Amino acid sequence: MMRFLLLFSRQGKLRLQKWYTPLSEREKKKIIRDMTTMVLARQPRTCNFLHWKDLKIIYKRYASLYFCLGVESEENELLGLEVIHRYVELLDKYFGNVCELDIIFNFEKAYFILDEFLMSGEIQETSKQTINRCIENSDMLQELSY
Amino acid sequence: MSDVVEKTLTALPSLLSLDSQPGSAKLSSTSKLGALIRGITELTSKHEEEKLIQRELASLKDQVSSPNTSMRQMKEAMVRAIYCEMLGYEASFSYIHAIKLAQQGSILDKRVGYLAVTLFLNENHEFVLTCYDYKHIIPIIIYCVYDTCNTPLVEEKLNHPKEIIRRKAVLALYKFYLIAPNQVQHIHNRFRKALCDKDPGVMFASLHIYLQMIKGYKDLTASFVTILKQVVSGKLPMDFNYHSVPAPWLQIQLLRILSILGKNDQSTSEIMYDVLDESLKRAEINHNITYAILYECVKCIYTIYPKTDLLEKAAKCIGNFVLSSKINLKYLGLKALTYVVQQDPKLALQHQMTIIECLDHPDVIIKRETLELLFRITNAQNITVIVEKMLEFLHQSKDDHTTIDLVGKVAEIAEKYPLQTMNTVFSLGGDMIQPDIPNSFLKLLSEGFESEEENKKLRLFAVDSYILLLEGETRNLPQRFLQVISWVLGEYSHLRNDLDPARVMTLLTKLLEMRQTSSETKTWVLMAMTKLCSGEASVSIARSVCEDLSSSMDTVQRQRAHELLLLSQDRALRSQLLPLCSDPEPLEVDSSLSFLDAFVSEALAAGAAPYKPPHQRQEELAQQKALSLEPYELSLPINMSSSCVTGRQSPTLMSVSSGLSGDSAELSHKGGSTTLKLEGVKRVWGREGYLSKKEPVEEVAQAEIPSPLSSPNQHTGASGTSSNTHPPIPTPEPEQEKQQLASSLFVGLGSQSSLCLVRADIYALHVAVFQYSLSVIRPVVHFEVMGMLSYQSSHKSHEVEFTYKLPLTNFIRPFTVSTEQYGAMWLAFSNDTKQNLNLVTDGQDSLTDTLNVLKGKLNLHIVEIIGMEGIVACRLAQDQPCLLHCHIHAGTLAVWLRSPVPDLPDSLLYHCQRALEGT
> Is residue A3 very low, low, confident or very high in pLDDT (cuts 50, 70, 90)?
very high
Measuring CA to CA, which residue among B30, B116, B40, B106 is closest to residue B81?
A: B116
> Is residue B41 very low, low, confident or very high in pLDDT (cuts 50, 70, 90)?
confident
In chain A, positions 94-113, which contact chain B (CB-CB < 8 Å)?
A: 94-102, 104-109, 111-112
Q: Show contacts of B863-871: CB within 8 Å, 24+ apart.
A: B863/B817, B863/B818, B863/B819, B863/B822, B864/B819, B871/B819, B871/B822
In this predicted structure, what is the pLDDT of residue B855?
86
| DSSP-derived secondary structure letter, B263 | B
Best residue in A7, A25, A78 to probe B by mutation, most B CBs within 10 Å? Answer: A78
Residue B487 pLDDT exceeds 80:
yes
Please answer whether residues B755 and B785 qualify as being in contact, where contact means their C-beta atoms are separated by less than 8 angstroms: yes
Which pTM does this prediction carry? 0.59
pLDDT in tens, B311-337: 988 988 888 888 888 899 999 999 999
| DSSP-derived secondary structure letter, B842 | -
Of residues B12, B248, B641, nearest to A63 (C-beta)? B12
Residue A5 pLDDT exceeds 90:
yes
In sequence order, which residues have a C-beta less than 8 Å from that of residue B342 and are 6 or more positions away?
B376, B694, B696, B699
Chain A residues within 8 A of B82 when measuring between CB atoms: 107-108
Measuring CA to CA, which residue among B403, B404, B405, B410 is closest to residue B389?
A: B410
> Is residue B819 very low, low, confident or very high in pLDDT (cuts 50, 70, 90)?
confident
Region B690-707: mean pLDDT is 37
Average pLDDT, chain B: 73
Chain B residues within 8 A of A47 when measuring between CB atoms: 327-328, 330-331, 363, 365-366
Of residues A23, A104, A108, nearest to B112 (C-beta)? A108
Q: How far apart are CA B262 and CA B82, in angstroms?
A: 47
Top pLDDT among B670 and B430 is at B430
> Is residue B425 very low, low, confident or very high in pLDDT (cuts 50, 70, 90)?
low
Region B747-760: mean pLDDT is 44
- Nearest CA distance, A17 vs chain B (angstrom): 8
For residue B794, the one-letter residue type is S
In sequence order, which residues have a C-beta less than 8 Å from that of residue B769 and are 6 or more positions away?
none
Most distant CA atoms of chain A, gap in Å: 50
In chain A, positions 62-81, which contact chain B (CB-CB < 8 Å)?
A: 63-64, 76-79, 81
A137 touches chain B (CB under 8 A): no
A38 touches chain B (CB under 8 A): no
Q: Is B834 helix (H, G, I), strand (E, B) or coil?
A: strand
Q: How far apart are CA B73 and CA B59, in angstroms?
A: 13
Backbone phi, psi, residue B811, to 5°: -100, 0
Nearest chain A residue to B172 by CA distance is A120
Segment among A34-43, B122-131, B465-474, B708-717 with least mean pLDDT: B708-717
Question: Across the strands, what pairs with A52?
Answer: A55
- Nearest CA distance, B478 vs chain A (angstrom): 24
In this predicted structure, what is the pLDDT of residue B677?
41
The CA-based angle B384-B456-B501, given to 5 degrees, is 110
Nearest chain B residue to A100 by CA distance is B8
Chain A residues within 8 A of B123 when measuring between CB atoms: 22
Residue B701 pLDDT exceeds 50:
no
Best residue in B1, B8, B21 to probe A by mutation, most A CBs within 10 Å? Answer: B8
Region B482-486: mean pLDDT is 84
> Ranked by mean pLDDT, which of B330-339, B404-413, B501-510, B906-915 comes out on top?
B330-339
pLDDT in tens, B151-171: 566 666 677 777 888 888 888
In this predicted structure, what is the pLDDT of residue B631?
53
> Ranked by mean pLDDT, which of B78-82, B572-576, B843-847 comes out on top?
B78-82
In this predicted structure, what is the pLDDT of residue A83?
95
Q: Is B714 helix (H, G, I), strand (E, B) or coil?
A: coil
Q: How many residues in chain A?
A: 146
Backbone phi, psi, residue B375, to 5°: -55, -35
In this predicted structure, what is the pLDDT of residue B680?
41
> Is residue B144 very low, low, confident or very high in pLDDT (cuts 50, 70, 90)?
very low
Q: How far apart are CA B315 and CA B321, in angstroms?
A: 10
Top pLDDT among A95 and B17 is at A95
In this predicted structure, what is the pLDDT of residue B387?
75
% of chain A surpassing 70 pLDDT: 97
Distances (CA, A) of B666 to B546, B559, B562: 18, 11, 12
Cβ of B291 within 8 Å of Cβ of A16? The answer is no
Q: How far apart are CA B292 and CA B267, in angstroms?
A: 27
The Cβ of residue B709 has, within 10 Å, a number of other Cβ atoms equal to 8
- Nearest CA distance, B415 vs chain A (angstrom): 26
| DSSP-derived secondary structure letter, B17 | G
Chain A residues within 8 A of B21 when measuring between CB atoms: 95-97
Top pLDDT among B7 and B394 is at B394
Nearest chain A residue to B112 by CA distance is A108
- Nearest CA distance, A82 vs chain B (angstrom): 7
Region B823-838: mean pLDDT is 84
For residue B476, the one-letter residue type is N
Please answer whether residues B345 and B696 qualify as being in contact, where contact means their C-beta atoms are separated by less than 8 angstroms: yes
Please answer whether residues B489 and B466 qualify as being in contact, where contact means their C-beta atoms are separated by less than 8 angstroms: yes
- Nearest CA distance, B75 vs chain A (angstrom): 11
Half-sphere exposure for B11 (CA within 13 Å, toward CB)? 18
pLDDT in tens, A79-99: 999 999 999 999 999 998 888
Question: Across the strands, what pairs with A70?
Answer: A4, A57
Q: How far apart are CA B86 and CA A63, in angstroms?
A: 21
Q: How many residues in chain B?
A: 919
Q: How far apart are CA B650 and CA B433, in angstroms?
A: 11
**In chain A, what is the straight-line distance between the N-terminal and C-terminal CA atoms, in Å?**
39
pLDDT in tens, B629-686: 555 544 444 444 333 333 333 333 333 333 333 333 333 333 333 334 444 444 444 4
Chain B residues within 8 A of A111 when measuring between CB atoms: 115, 119
Question: Across the strands, what pairs with B790?
Answer: B761, B799
Q: Which stretches within B625-781 are classed as H helix?
A: 656-660, 665-672, 696-703, 736-745
> Is residue B8 very low, low, confident or very high in pLDDT (cuts 50, 70, 90)?
very low
Cβ of A48 within 8 Å of Cβ of B328? The answer is yes
Q: How far apart are CA B143 and CA B654, in angstroms?
A: 47
| DSSP-derived secondary structure letter, A50 | E
Cβ of A101 within 8 Å of Cβ of B5? The answer is yes
Of residues A46, A108, A119, nearest to B147 (C-beta)? A119
Chain A residues within 8 A of B362 when measuring between CB atoms: 43, 46
In this predicted structure, what is the pLDDT of residue B413?
66
Q: How far apart are CA B553 and CA B879, in angstroms?
A: 81
Residue B697 pLDDT exceeds 70:
no
Distances (CA, A) of B785 to B306, B380, B444: 31, 20, 34
Q: How far apart are CA B715 and CA A98, in angstroms?
A: 67
Segment among B543-557, B762-776, B898-912 with least mean pLDDT: B762-776
Nearest chain B residue to A30 by CA distance is B644
Q: Beta B812-814 vs B831-837: how paired, if at all?
A: unpaired
C-alpha dihedral, B840 to B843 to B847 to B848, nearest 10° = -100
For residue B673, the one-letter residue type is S
Q: How far apart are CA B452 and CA B242, in angstroms?
A: 66
C-alpha dihedral, B867 to B870 to B871 to B875, nearest 10° = 150
pLDDT in tens, B847-905: 888 888 888 888 888 888 888 889 999 888 667 888 999 888 878 888 888 888 888 88
DSSP B113-173: HHHHHHHH--TT-HHHHHGGG-TTTHHHHHHHHSSS--HHHHHHHTT-SSHHHHHHHHHHH
Of residues B72, B249, B295, nearest to A123 (C-beta)? B249
In sequence order, which residues have a C-beta less than 8 Å from that of residue A67 and are 6 or more positions away?
A5, A6, A7, A59, A60, A61, A84, A87, A88
